[in-house]
Amino acid sequence: MTQERVILVGVETERNYSTFASSMNELKSLTKTANGEVIFSLIQKRPQVDRQTVIGKGKLAELQQLVDAHEADLVIFNHELTPRQSQLIGEELGAPVIDRVQLILDIFAMRARSKEGKLQVELAQLDYLLPRLIGQGKNMSRLGGGIGTRGPGETKLETDRRHIRNRITIIKRELKEVAAHRDRTRQKRRDSQVFQIGLIGYTNAGKSTILNLLTSADTYEQDQLFATLDPLTKRWRLPEGLEVTVTDTVGFIQELPTQLIDAFHSTLEESQNMDLLLHVVDAGSHDRQQQEKTVLALMEELSLTQVPVLTIYNKADRIDPEQFVPTLFPNVLISAKSSKGKEQLIQAIKMELMQIMQPYQTVLAANEGKRLSRLKRETLLLTNDFDEEDQTYHLKGFALPGSAGIYPTIEE
């Protein structure tokens, strides 16, 4: 697949100067993920973006010369363009123009695997494109061929708005059914008293790597933005025997398009029902603290602040551990690529489990093997001593709060 030649455009303003550099670097990575080759980055400083053309007339003329000189296939703006801006800039440049939102939606369209993932991406794209149908004529010819064109095809967009609105209604209905099914599955897990762990974090922090490390899930694990899109839940058995579920989620990103927050609410809502969240952070990232802030802000937006969180500082192999200063607590610093990392991670998770669960101790008769194996599977059993004289098992461990009714032998 041939790479498209792309020019990036960004405006540093009084509002975005603190995150501007990292945002432009991210745009570069996003373009690479979408199979584009960045041949030039045009950067401008101004108090605020120009209301008509984002960069102003003079800079737009310069951009037009750059497009010709570099034979660019596409121009990507690091700002969400209004339908009018998009039309004006496109006409002036005589080249296809998309914005950061469209680029992210495009990558999501590439990554979606499940029926729900595909529906959610299509919904987000249609929501985004509906007000932008006027003046799309020139861009229509690119549909199905290049960055910003994946997802709903030509026929869906060239027909009138009513068709798109109908399609949006149908998708929303289908997503409701999928969400109801997910709710039933979630309720089953709840009823069975399974401890649920959720992975969250900035995109490309290593969530899928950690899921694979714990569960051998063999998920798609790549040094790319948005490598995982569809939530994946796997069972994981701790060395002591306790069975829990671990769910991977889509990565967060600065200025996540609002269309995507809405479309992926059901996916991210999965995290609200977790007993413990593992917040994975790339310890070696230059923008680590900014990425942490982004995730914490989105967690607040999704009402996740009530769930206990363990921060996993990943990729310790890329930094000097002696110089590392963590900002979030409780935490553990590991390299998911090392065997030692797995041990450290399991220990840290166990410590958190003991904070969340309630301690118990109980005595079982020698013939209560079934009950013993259930306690091993459903509680964190730390000591299991057999008394030869009494022919009894003396057990100590931790169970989910309110478990006394489920395990009559437990004394809380």
Binding region for GTP: 201-208, 226-230, 248-251, 314-317, 335-337
Strands 243-248 vs 232-237: parallel, antiparallel or unpaired: antiparallel
Residues contacting residue 81 through CB under 8 Å, at least 6 positions apart: 54, 89, 97, 99
Annotated binding site for Mg(2+): 208, 228
How far apart CA 74 and CA 6 sit, in angstroms, is 5
DSSP 202: B
* Single-letter amino acid, residue 81: L
Strand partners, 311: 279, 331
Geometric angle at alpha carbon 329, from 328 and 330, rounded to 5°: 140
How far apart CA 176 and CA 123 sit, in angstroms, is 13
Three-state secondary structure call for residue 52: coil
Give whole-number Cα distances, 90 to 93, 284, 312, 336, 339, in Å: 5, 38, 44, 45, 52
> Would you say 240 and 376 are in contact if contact means Cβ atoms under 8 Å apart?
yes
Q: What does the block give as tokens for 243?
A: 């069975």
Residue 234's Cβ-count burial label (10 Å; 0-12, 13-18, 19+) is middle
> Would you say 390 and 336 are in contact if contact means Cβ atoms under 8 Å apart?
no
How far apart CA 55 and CA 72 sit, in angstroms, is 18
How far apart CA 157 and CA 133 sit, in angstroms, is 8
How far apart CA 216 and CA 218 sit, in angstroms, is 6
What are the phi and psi torsion angles at 337 (to 5°)? -85, -10
Q: What is the 3-state secondary structure (H, E, C) of 70-85?
A: HCCCEEEECCCCCHHH
Single out the residue of 279, 282, 276, 271 nearest to residue 206, CA to CA: 282
Single out the residue of 396, 398, 399, 394 nearest to residue 364, CA to CA: 394
Q: How many residues can be counted in the chain?
A: 412
* Single-letter amino acid, residue 21: A
Annotated binding site: 201-208, 226-230, 248-251, 314-317, 335-337
How would you label 273-300 residue by residue, b for 16+ Cβ within 10 Å and e otherwise? ebbbbbbbbbbebebbebbbebbbebbe
